[in-house]
């Protein structure tokens, strides 16, 4: 046998051996279905799947790309059949009709052919959003009996990444409209020297200074920080106070929530609604105390944070000042307002990033809510409306408005899950 033939056989044997090894390796890494019905996914897989975890049927979403994918019509109808108005504390889907009207009124303020959502995988106009809302309003009376209609008449665009859902509520806070007795912590209205950059202005603005700036001795400067306002008292005595609170930590969290209901000494209620901000970056108290080593991650509840701050008044203002963001308010008699300029509806209104979910959009989601200490989770297969925004609500993130008062605080504070999210657009709107 010649040496060249011998070498050729050796090469072929080596190639067959390598092929056998690759086949064994790949088969060992592929997804497998095991006896319990759980699916085991390779850690390198980017596919989003639901995974059952034990008898309590808790589910979680594996993160995929932040883009939309239209479900097949049969999958949309299957998802729609799971909808249940009772999870949202409704006796009928008809109850959300007034809130749909509020979204329609907002959407109508935008040009029908204007772009509401512009992404590589989906592009929607304000006219298509309005048509979707009108179609939802039209089929509402039939949804109690047959929720699958929402899958038949609407395309369900699945957000493949899912979204991190948190909760927010409107606190009821002891306040006075005048400074007296224990009411000594001011709520400020938007100062007249707070300005915003206009389109076309040529100053080399930072992103922060486009949102808010001031002019002092002919110089353009960032607007005052929380430290300058709360510690330096730069706004004190300018007649900007619209209310006074008893508790400085309640005031801080009213800024975080973007508003609050004020209970006056005579029992009357007023609402503090957002009127502007200083444009500076937000930083949560939990993160501040964690970074300082003051509290452990397991201790980061609002009650623990508040207890520490009120027990350490000499450090309280300095710690709160590390969050440079500052919010200004108007006092009204209306219910808490959203970014659409209309009152919010508990368990229906959502805060979202308009770059991913435009204001006025219809959203479906699945989430577990915890009503109170020691009480089991309540599953919500819901329909919501994007009616609010927030400085911390960016990208694949939703903030669920759960209601007013201390009884809703536990639910809001114990909601932080990645959940499946769908953007709903009526089929007739897409044909326009």
Count each helix (H run) and each strand (E run) in the chain, helices first: 13, 23
- What pLDDT sits at residue 132? 98
Residue 35 pLDDT greater than 80, yes or no: no
pLDDT band of 407, cuts 50, 70, 90: confident
Average pLDDT of the chain is: 85
- Measured in degrees and rounded to the nearest 5, phi and psi for residue 175 equal -150, 165
Residue with tokens 């915890």: 370
pLDDT per position as a tens digit, 420-432: 999 999 999 999 7
Contact, 404 vs 395, CB < 8 A?
no
- What pLDDT sits at residue 17? 54
63 or 117: which leads in pLDDT: 117
Give the pLDDT mean for 319-332.
95
182 or 40: which leads in pLDDT: 182
Contact, 350 vs 374, CB < 8 A?
no
Nearest to 413 by CA among 180, 173, 171: 171
Query: What SS3 state is found at 246?
Result: coil
pLDDT band of 29, cuts 50, 70, 90: very low
* Distant-in-sequence, close-in-space partners of 30: CB < 8 Å, separation ≥ 6: 42
Query: What SS3 state is found at 402?
Result: strand
- What pLDDT sits at residue 65? 82
Residue 369 pLDDT greater than 80, yes or no: yes
- Measured in degrees and rounded to the nearest 5, phi and psi for residue 219 equal -105, 140
Assigned token pair, 225: 């920080």
Would you report the helix, strand and coil content of the chain in percent, each value rounded to 5? Answer: 35, 30, 40
Percentage with pLDDT > 70 across the chain = 82
Choice among 60-69, 115-124, 272-281 with the minimum mean pLDDT: 60-69
- What pLDDT sits at residue 298? 87
- What pLDDT sits at residue 19? 47
394 or 32: which leads in pLDDT: 394
Residue with tokens 């008044």: 313
Q: Which residues of 48-79 are buried (b: 16+ CB within 10 A; e: fewer)?
A: beeeeeeeeeebebeebeebbebbeeeebbeb
- What pLDDT sits at residue 36? 33
pLDDT per position as a tens digit, 187-220: 999 999 999 877 666 555 566 666 788 999 988 8
Nearest to 257 by CA among 285, 217, 215: 285
9 or 365: which leads in pLDDT: 365
- What pLDDT sits at residue 205? 57
210 or 385: which leads in pLDDT: 385
- What pLDDT sits at residue 390? 84
Choice among 34-48, 322-336, 388-402 with the minimum mean pLDDT: 34-48
Residue 338: CA count within 13 A, CB half-sphere? 28
Give the pLDDT mean for 126-136.
98
């Amino acid at each position: 046998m010649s040496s060249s033939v011998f070498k050729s056989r050796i090469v072929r044997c080596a190639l067959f051996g390598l092929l056998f090894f690759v086949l064994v390796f790949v088969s060992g890494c592929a997804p497998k279905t095991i006896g319990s019905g759980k699916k085991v996914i390779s850690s390198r897989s980017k596919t989003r799947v639901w995974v059952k975890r034990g008898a309590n049927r808790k589910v979680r979403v594996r993160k995929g790309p932040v883009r939309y994918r239209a479900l097949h019509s049969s999958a949309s109808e299957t998802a729609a059949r799971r909808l249940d108005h009772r999870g949202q504390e409704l006796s009928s889907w008809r109850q959300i009709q007034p809130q749909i009207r509020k979204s329609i009124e907002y959407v109508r303020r935008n040009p029908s052919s204007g772009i509401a959502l512009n992404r590589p995988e989906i592009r929607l106009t304000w006219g298509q959003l309005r048509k979707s809302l009108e179609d939802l309003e039209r089929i509402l009376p039939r949804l109690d009996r047959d929720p699958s209609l929402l899958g038949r008449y609407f395309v369900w665009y699945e957000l493949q990444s899912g979204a991190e859902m948190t909760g927010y509520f409107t606190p009821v806070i002891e306040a006075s409209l005048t400074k007296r007795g224990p009411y000594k912590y001011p709520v400020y209205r938007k100062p007249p020297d707070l300005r915003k950059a206009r389109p076309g202005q040529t100053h080399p603005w930072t992103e922060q200074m486009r949102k808010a700036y001031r002019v002092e001795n002919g110089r353009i400067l960032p607007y005052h920080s929380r430290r300058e306002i709360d510690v330096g008292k730069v706004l004190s005595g300018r007649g900007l106070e619209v209310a006074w609170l008893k508790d400085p930590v309640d005031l801080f969290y009213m800024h975080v929530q973007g508003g609050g209901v004020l209970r006056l000494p005579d029992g009357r209620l007023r609402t503090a609604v957002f009127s502007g901000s200083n444009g500076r970056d937000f930083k949560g108290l939990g993160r501040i105390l964690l970074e300082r080593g003051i509290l452990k991650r397991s201790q980061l509840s609002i009650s623990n944070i508040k207890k520490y701050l009120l027990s350490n008044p000499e450090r309280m203002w300095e710690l709160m000042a590390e969050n440079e963001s500052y919010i200004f308010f108007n006092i009204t008699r209306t219910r808490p307002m959203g970014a659409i300029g209309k009152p919010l509806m508990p368990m229906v209104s959502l805060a979202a990033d308009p770059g991913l979910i435009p204001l006025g959009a219809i959203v479906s989601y699945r989430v577990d809510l915890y009503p109170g200490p020691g009480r089991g989770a309540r599953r919500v297969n819901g329909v919501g409306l994007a009616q609010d925004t927030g400085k911390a609500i960016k990208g694949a993130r939703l903030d669920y408005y759960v209601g007013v008062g201390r009884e809703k605080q536990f639910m809001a504070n114990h909601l932080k899950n990645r959940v499946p999210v769908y953007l709903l657009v009526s089929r007739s709107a897409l044909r326009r």
